Structure 1
Amino acid sequence: MRDMMGLMKQAQDMQKKMADMQAQLDTLEFEGSAGGGLVTVVMTAKNVLKSVKIDPSLMVAGEQEILEDLVISACNDARNKAERAVADRMAEVTRGLPIPPGMKLF
Structure 2
Amino acid sequence: MFPGGGNMQQIMRQVQKMQKKMAEAQEEIAKMTVEGTAGGGSVRVTVTGDRRVTEVKLAPEVVDPDDIEMLQDLIVAAISDGMKKAEELAEAEMKKVIPGGLPSFPGLF
TM range (shorter): 0.7 to 0.9
Out of 3, 6, 19, the residue aligned to residue 3 of structure 1 is 6
Specify the alignment match of 1:98 in structure 2.
103
TM-score normalised by L of structure 1: 0.82
Q: Secondary structure at the match of 1:30?
A: strand
What residue ranges of structure 2 are gaps of 5+ in the alignment? none
Aligned residues: 100
Q: Secondary structure at the match of 2:91?
A: helix
Specify the alignment match of 2:36 in structure 1.
32
Q: Is the alpha carbon distance of 1:42 and 1:99 closer, same or farther for their aligned partners in structure 2, counting shifts above 3 Å?
A: farther
Q: Secondary structure at the match of 1:50?
A: strand
What is the rounded CA distance, in whole Å, between the counterparts of 1:46 and 1:20 in structure 2? Answer: 13
Percent identity over the alignment? 37
Q: Of the two, which has the highest radius of gyration?
A: 2
The runs of at least 4 consecutive aligned structure 1 residues that moved more than 4 Å come to none
How much does 1:99 deviate?
4.3
What is the rounded CA distance, in whole Å, between the counterparts of 1:67 and 1:49 in structure 2? Answer: 17
The Cα RMSD (Å) is 1.9
How much does 1:87 deviate?
1.4
Out of 50, 58, 61, the residue aligned to residue 57 of structure 1 is 61
Which amino acid in 1 is paired with 2:10?
A: G
Q: Secondary structure at the match of 2:44?
A: strand
Which amino acid in 2 is paired with 1:27?
A: K
For 1:28-70, what per-residue CA distance to the aligned partner results, in whole angstroms no more than 9, with x for missing partners? 1111000110000111123222111111111223111111100
TM-score normalised by L of structure 2: 0.80
Q: Secondary structure at the match of 2:40?
A: coil
Which amino acid in 2 is paired with 1:12?
A: Q
Out of 10, 13, 32, the residue aligned to residue 17 of structure 2 is 13
What is the rounded CA distance, in whole Å, between the counterparts of 2:77 and 2:20 in structure 1? Answer: 35
Which amino acid in 1 is paired with 2:69?
A: E
